[in-house]
Structures are given as C-alpha cells and as structure tokens.
Chains A and B, each alone.
Chain A
Amino acid sequence: MRKQDSSQRLKNFLQKDFTPYLVFAIPLAFLVVFLFWPLITTFLRAFMGAGAKMDFSRFGIDNFTKFFTSPLYQKSLKNSFILSISVVVFSVLIGVPMGYIVARVQIPGKKLLLSLGILPVIMPSFVGAFSWIILMGRQGVARHFLNIVLSPLGITIPSIYGMFGMIFTMTLTFYPFVFLLSYSSFSSANPLLEEAAMLMGAGKWRIFWTITFPLILPSLGAACLLVFIRSIGSFGIPAIIGGEEYVLPTLIYFRVNGFWDLNGAAAIAIVNVIITGAVLILQKYVVNKRKYETISASRSEQKLYSNAGVKILSSIFCIIILIVSLAPQITIIVMSFFEKWQGLFPQEFTLANYIKIPSASKTELGNSLYLSLIATFFTAILGSIMAYITERRRPKGAAILDLAIMAPFILPGTVIAVALLSAFSGNAIIPLGGTFTIIIISYMIRRTPYVYRSVVASLTQLDPTLEESSTIAGANWFYTFRRVSLPLILPGIISGSILTFSTLLQELSTTILLYGARTRTVPIQIYSAVADGKMGEASALSVILLIVVFIIVYAMNSFQGNKMVNSFKLG
C-alpha cells in the first residue's frame, strides 16, 4: 500500500508540468548572483569600520552610532524628512488637481499635456538644478523680471538657495508621478458610482470626498511613495541648490568621495532603505485598510465638464504648472544655442554645440542607445517573470523577494556599482570589468522595479479566474501564460519598459564607476562637459536625450492611451 502510494507520487511528480519551474529558475538564479550578493555585501559593509575594505575583525555598529552623536547626521536626517514629506505634500496639491482636470474637463491637447507632463522627471538632475540657478538664483533672469513686475506690490522673491528652493524645485521635478497616476485613476474610476451618489442627491464635494477620492487613494498612495523615494534619494538638487542644508545623500557623497569610506556610506544608505521600507509598509497599511471597488472591464462614458468658465480656468492652471515645471528644460534648450550664460542673458549665439555632436558623440550616442535598449529588453523579461512569481505563485518569502527587488531602486547608484565591481572584477570567477555586460547588469538590477511594479499592478487588477478557466479547459501552463496572461499584462510591460528606457538613457551614478573606453555613454560626456565648464555643450547633449525620450513617450501615449501610467504603481 505504502509502496504503491510512493510510486504513484513519483508518477504524479513526473507528469507535472515543469516548464514554469524552469522558466522561474533562470531569473531567480540571475537575481541570486547579481542582486542578492551585492545586497548582502552592502549590508555587511555597513557594520564594518570606516574605509573601503571588507574586514570582519572590525565588526560593529560604529557607522550607525553617528546618527546619535553627530549634529551633522541628525540635522541631515531631519532635513531629509522635512524635504521628502514636504515634496510629497506639495506634489499632491499640484498633481491631484491637474490629474482631475485632464481626466474630467474637456480641454484640448490632452495627449500633449500628458507627454510633456512626464519630462520634468527625466531631466539629468545636475543640469536641471543648474538651470534653476540661472532662472532663480540671486542673478537669475526669471527672478529679476518677476521682481520688476512685483515691485509695485512691495514683494521681493527670495533667491532659491536653501530648504525652500529644494522643496520648490523637487516638487516641480517629481509632481508628474502624482499627476499621471491620479489622472489614470480619475479617468478609469467607475463613473456609475458617482452617478448613483448624484441621483441620491449628494453634493459635488460630498461625492468627491466619499466616492471619487477613496477610489483614487490606492494610486495616490503609490504615487506618494514614489515621490518620497525619489526625493529622499536625490543628490543633485541638494548639492547645487541646498546650500548648507545637507541631506542623507549628501552624507553618502561625502563618505564616498571625501573619505573613500564605503562602509560608512553603506550604513547611511541602509538607514535610507529602512526609512523607505517603513513608508512602504505605512502606505500598504493605509491603502489596504479598506476594500476598494476595482476597475471594471465594462464601463460607461465619463461625464466631462464642458462649462466654458471651468474649461478656461482649468487650461490656465495646467499651462502655468507645465511652463513653470518645464522651465529648466526650456532654459537648457536656450542655453544649448549659446556659448555661456553668465549674467541675466545668454551670450554668443552659436550652433557649434550641435554641429559637433555627430563627430564628437557618435560612439557615445550609439552606446547609450545600445546599452539602454538591451538592458530594457532583459529588464522587461526579468521584471515580468518576477512579478508573475510573486503575484500568482506567492511563494514563501515573497515579501523578502519584493523588498530585494525594490532595494536597488532606493540604494544610491555608487553603492550598487561598488558591490558589482568588487564581486565581478579583479580575479573574480566571472570577470566583467570594463565590459558592456556589467553595465547592462547594473542597469537591470537598478531599474527592474519599474517593470516589476507595473506588471504586479496589472496582475492585481486581473482576475485569476481567467487563467484558472484556461487551465481547466485543458491548456498547459505555458499556453495559458502565452495566450491569456501575457496579452493582458502586455500594456504593463510596455509602459514599465518605456520608463526604464527613458531613465536609463540618462543614468550617470552607476555608469561612471563601471564604464570603460568602449562603453562611454552620453551622460558621461555631459558630466565631463559640466565639470569642464562647457554648459552649452552639456545642454545640447541633454536636449538630444530629451528629444529621444519625448518622441518615445508621445508615441506610446498615442499608441496605448493612459496605460503608461500603470508603471508608476507601487502598491
């Protein structure tokens, strides 16, 4: 009896469909080698004495005690909190109304608004921060003219340096996450619910607060989380605009570049990860507290406001926000046609910055496109499979997998690059130093969250019964995946890939530690030009990147409607 039982079990085992396990094993192996290993070394480093060496004899928590003893660390921690929370609040105040307007008011040029709306996020931060100084610094041209206009009212605009300037510029950089995401929920929320409330005699505000707002809360929570992560991790804006208001990334930069103290930097980075982890849990708690009406497949037309007054006011609001938030991009386009910009106005008009691009940047442009494309392609595969595993199979430890995939998104690029270099250069078993491969791998592990989150979001909205019925009807796993799941999550994959590609095109912090002579990219060239004081050249190259990204995003918006914003979902 017992024997028969076990042979039966063996038989069952052999008859099982192994394709999913094979498909899952390969990306998991990739993650173990290229993600877990760097994460573990980073974690261990944080507990070692100052320096760059992994030295187990100096194991301790010295790197962390600084947060209790040093006023510098405490002030920076406090600044990071104030900054990130303020940026989240202001992004909501700007982004939600804008999302509501574009979704619910009949205004022209929505596709353009949505495409331009994403551009502030994808600006190389060191060029962006500098153009804010050209505009709003003590000698800033915008500030100068605003002061002339406002002087009869007795108002003077302060210069941009300090906490206020950081909150201002960061909000204008990161609000698009809130704008695009709330736009997508406002436009896809089931209008029947609102109509029902209206029929029962509820006022407009009451409907908004009791029906519409709860409907967008999950997306809003995800957007806030993303804004929080991005602002607590940003170094470029605090370095240029912050003045003496240091934040955690400033400290990390000091430890790495001033003292070659990777271990100290790792400790600060881990504090950053812990804070973000706490916010992630808080966000999940707030969003999951209630059960929400999900977006249904069948939908009735949404009623758009067509009142002329509302239309005009809404358009003006959106245009003002868009122009102000795109001011750095406009500045850079202007600057790219000039030699320098030292006072109020740029000087010495020239086309030379563009004319030399084909000869001076051919390899770099090719490399940037090649590296970003290949990395995006593999990221799409990796991210979708991982999302499928955590969302559908829900293995034990899915939460750990989840956090591990998210961690490189939060950790500074330098820390990831160093972990990869230590593991895969020198006398390593797999020597990758100076190759295209090591850059592609670093891109993959740093950007997988975009595709991953996007696909997880698609899968949660997708009822598993569809897949179950396919299996019941006799299809094997692979057929089901290919014919049922994949087509349904494809928009999520595509939108995640777009974000991955656009942000990779401008990646600097990892690339600068990993690139070799053959693998130089455009952002490295921009960095070099900025360091050598050639702002015109740097601007022209940035404009080329902006144009590439804009074309792609506009094409995607035309092609697949608002699905693009799904990739921001982090819930």
Chain B
Amino acid sequence: MKKILLVVFAVLLLSAPLFAQGEMESEDKEPTALTVWSAAAEDEAKALIAAFNAHHPDIKVDVIRAGSGELITRLNAEQPRPQGDILLGIAKETYDAHYDLFTPYKVANHDTIPEAVRDKAATPRYYGYSMPLQAMIVNTTLLTEDQYPKKWSDLVDPKYKGEVILANPALSGSAYSQVYMIYKLYGEEMLKKLAKNAVFVASSTAVPESVARGEYAIGVTGEANIAKYISEGYPVIYIYPEEGTGARFDASAIIANGPNLKAAQLFMDFLTTREAYEIILNTRQRRVVVDYLPGPGPLPGLDEIKLFDYDAAEAGAMRDDLSSRFSDWIQ
C-alpha cells in the first residue's frame, strides 16, 4: 500500500511537466488574444492597451514586462515558435540586428510615419515608437549655472573628474550610442580621456537616479528619465549638447511566428495612430517619432534641439569592437 503511494508520488514528480496546459492556438476568424512583450513602462503599456481595447474589446491583451536585453534573449531562446506577438518600444538597432525574427506588415497609417523613423523596406518590419534622445542631466544643487557643461567635449574636462556618471557601453544600445556619438564627433583619443574622467557603471537606471539624488553632478541618459525627475521635483535640469545629439528612435514590431498574427496586425495599426502617440507622449512624457505632436512636458520641442544623423548600421557594426576596447580603457 505504502509502496504504491510512493510510486504514485514519484510518478507525480516525473509527470509534473504533463500538467502543463499547452495553449492551443485558436483558428477562429476573429482574434481573441494577444501577447505584448514590453520594454516600455508598466503604466504606459497599460494605457495603450486600454485604448486598444476600446476599439477591439474582444481581444484579451497580456503584457510581459522586462528589459530589452531580457526580451531579446527570450525571443532568441524561444525560436522557432515564440510565445509573444508584439515587441514594444526597444531600440531600432536591435531590430536591425535580429531582422529575421520579425514579420513585415504595412500598417494602415503607413503614410503618416516619416521614412526616417521606420524600417526602410517597402513592407516595413518595424515602426517608430518613441525618440529617446540622449542628453545630459545636471544636478542644480551641486553645480551653479556657470559651472554647467554645455558640450559633449566638456565631459572630459578635468574639473568634472569623478562627477560624471555614464552607463558602460557594453550594457545596452542606448548606453553605447552615447559613447558612439562622442566617438563620431571627436574620435578615439577623446574616448580615452572620457574613460578616465567619468565613472562608467553597470546599471543604466543608476545614472539618472544618482544625479537626481546628488551622488554625481552630471550624467548622460535618455531625456525621458530627465523629464521624469524634473516633474517629480528633483533638483535637476536637462542640457542638450551644443554639438547636437543623435536622432535615434525606439520601435515596435510583430514577432515572426507568434501565436496571434491577426491581432498583432490590428495592434500595429493602432500603435501608429495619433491616439497611440498621444498616449506615449502624455503618460510618461516621452518624445514620439511623429512630427505633428509637440515635445513632452518639461522638455523642448524638436525645433529647439540640434540633431545629427545617427548611423545605426555603422554604429551596430562597430559595437562589439568599440565597446570592448572602451571597457578596456576604463580599467
């Protein structure tokens, strides 16, 4: 008797995987489900989905929230049949690097999206979402106005030694873009000086947080982070470098071979509407890619910011080499 009980127990242990309820794909005409993998903030994704559901109440949308590095890792690991349908709000370069993992689809509002902020292919695989311009965040209690840095090249000024914080370029696409921009403007020697003058940390959220708390005086980060800390009343301001900042953008795309293609297409159509862009702009004060909307909250409009072309292809090709060498200069 006891023996049987033990065997039952053991069988239970082994058969645990069989309890898995494999989600059956429904071949219904009308789509009913959608899974969004989101690198965007929780409230932003929720607001978008609420608005989407107002148009398509029958589609139940699930959100998986994680960092872009985790989402891409997961996407690669789940090949050839990933569990997600939409990848929301990660850097354009990332899509270029994993181009085959996304499905081409021409959205209904295709013509309202400038070519510069979408995939250049006739049937694009990704469309622009937000524009995380990189700018300097400066703590106004640690520095007086005449001490503020104005240009990228000020970051190597010895008077700021130990006061400048950046994320290590090996950490993420946006951290790398900061270093790459300085490299494009001033070349390798400048980067070596920067490596010595600034502190390069292994956590990108630590950068704006540290400046807002007054741990460091100057940081380089996405402008939305600066807007957030300004709105929350921290003693910080934004400075867009005089040389200009690279015109980079985050995008969204349909994951190839996801479970709900049709719902995913409807969601892409929605993401490229004025309504969706207004939500992205207003929920977290993030700059959007369309030119018919203004700059977010406390931040200036695009007409007041000097931009320069950011060659994502060249940046991506150099990335491994440049960021490895850069990390070695830090040491």
Instruction: Let me know if B212 is at the binding interface, CB within 8 A.
Output: yes
Nearest residue, chain B, Cβ from A514: B74
Asked whether, in the complex, the Cβ of A257 is within 8 Å of the Cβ of B213, the reply is no
**Contact bitstring A24-49, B, C-beta under 8 A = 1, else 0:** 00110110000000000000000000
Query: Closest Cβ of chain B: how far from A242's Cβ, in Å?
Result: 7
Asked whether, in the complex, the Cβ of B202 is within 8 Å of the Cβ of A437, the reply is no
- How distant is the Cα of A429 from the Cα of B63 in the complex, in angstroms? 26
Q: Which residues of B contact A517 (CB under 8 A)?
A: 35, 62-64
Instruction: Let me know if A333 is at the binding interface, CB within 8 A.
Output: no
Asked whether, in the complex, the Cβ of B212 is within 8 Å of the Cβ of A254, the reply is no
- How distant is the Cα of A88 from the Cα of B132 in the complex, in angstroms? 43
Of B42, B74, B98, B210, the residue contacting A528 (CB under 8 A) is: B42
- Of the candidates B68, B81, B83, B176, the one having the most CB atoms from chain A within 10 angstroms of its own CB is B83
Nearest residue, chain B, Cβ from A444: B16
Given contacts A239-B206, A243-B201, contact A425 B78 (CB under 8 A): yes
Chain B interface residue count: which class?
35 or more
In the complex, which residues 211-262 of chain A have their Cβ closer than 8 Å to any Cβ of chain B? 238-240, 242-244, 246, 250, 253-254, 256-260, 262
- How distant is the Cα of A563 from the Cα of B138 in the complex, in angstroms? 54
Nearest residue, chain B, Cβ from A438: B20
Asked whether, in the complex, the Cβ of A515 is within 8 Å of the Cβ of B201, the reply is no
Nearest residue, chain A, Cβ from B10: A26
Of B3, B7, B16, B83, the residue contacting A516 (CB under 8 A) is: B83
Asked whether, in the complex, the Cβ of A524 is within 8 Å of the Cβ of B16, the reply is no
- How distant is the Cα of A250 from the Cα of B17 in the complex, in angstroms? 33
Q: Which residues of A contact B35 (CB under 8 A)?
A: 516-517
Q: Which residues of B contact A74 (CB under 8 A)?
A: 331
Instruction: Let me know if B320 is at the binding interface, CB within 8 A.
Output: yes
Given contacts A239-B206, A258-B171, contact A425 B23 (CB under 8 A): no
Of A258, A417, A421, A437, the residue contacting B16 (CB under 8 A) is: A437
- How distant is the Cα of A369 from the Cα of B180 in the complex, in angstroms? 45
Of A139, A240, A417, A531, the residue contacting B41 (CB under 8 A) is: A531
- How distant is the Cα of A70 from the Cα of B170 in the complex, in angstroms? 14
- How distant is the Cα of A41 from the Cα of B200 in the complex, in angstroms? 33
Instruction: Let me know if B228 is at the binding interface, CB within 8 A.
Output: yes
**Contact bitstring B77-93, A, C-beta under 8 A = 1, else 0:** 11111110000000000
Query: Closest Cβ of chain A: how far from B216's Cβ, in Å?
Result: 8
Asked whether, in the complex, the Cβ of A244 is within 8 Å of the Cβ of B13, the reply is no
Query: Closest Cβ of chain A: how far from B30's Cβ, in Å?
Result: 20
Query: Closest Cβ of chain B: how far from A433's Cβ, in Å?
Result: 5
Asked whether, in the complex, the Cβ of A29 is within 8 Å of the Cβ of B2, the reply is no
Instruction: Let me know if A342 is at the binding interface, CB within 8 A.
Output: yes
Q: Which residues of B contact A254 (CB under 8 A)?
A: 168, 170-171, 202, 327
Asked whether, in the complex, the Cβ of B76 is within 8 Å of the Cβ of A381, the reply is no
Q: Which residues of B contact A524 (CB under 8 A)?
A: 65
Instruction: Let me know if B122 is at the binding interface, CB within 8 A.
Output: no
Asked whether, in the complex, the Cβ of B200 is within 8 Å of the Cβ of A240, the reply is no
Instruction: Let me know if A94 is at the binding interface, CB within 8 A.
Output: no
Asked whether, in the complex, the Cβ of B328 is within 8 Å of the Cβ of A27, the reply is no
Asked whether, in the complex, the Cβ of A26 is within 8 Å of the Cβ of B23, the reply is no
Asked whether, in the complex, the Cβ of A435 is within 8 Å of the Cβ of B20, the reply is yes
Instruction: Let me know if B69 is at the binding interface, CB within 8 A.
Output: yes
Asked whether, in the complex, the Cβ of B62 is within 8 Å of the Cβ of A260, the reply is no
Asked whether, in the complex, the Cβ of B13 is within 8 Å of the Cβ of A342, the reply is no
Of B78, B97, B170, the residue contacting A426 (CB under 8 A) is: B78
Q: Which residues of A contact B228 (CB under 8 A)?
A: 533
Asked whether, in the complex, the Cβ of A72 is within 8 Å of the Cβ of B327, the reply is yes
Asked whether, in the complex, the Cβ of A239 is within 8 Å of the Cβ of B328, the reply is no
In the complex, which residues 190-212 of chain A have their Cβ closer than 8 Å to any Cβ of chain B? none
- How distant is the Cα of A198 from the Cα of B169 in the complex, in angstroms? 63
- How distant is the Cα of A72 from the Cα of B228 in the complex, in angstroms? 34
Asked whether, in the complex, the Cβ of A256 is within 8 Å of the Cβ of B73, the reply is yes
- How distant is the Cα of A250 from the Cα of B168 in the complex, in angstroms? 10
Residues of B at under 8 Å CB distance from A?
A: 2-3, 6-7, 9-11, 13-14, 16-17, 19-23, 35, 41-43, 62-70, 72-74, 76-83, 97-98, 168-173, 175-176, 199-203, 205-206, 209-210, 212-216, 228, 232-234, 319-320, 323-324, 327-328, 330-331
The 7 closest A-B pairs by CB, nearest first: A257-B69, A517-B62, A421-B77, A254-B170, A435-B20, A26-B10, A52-B76
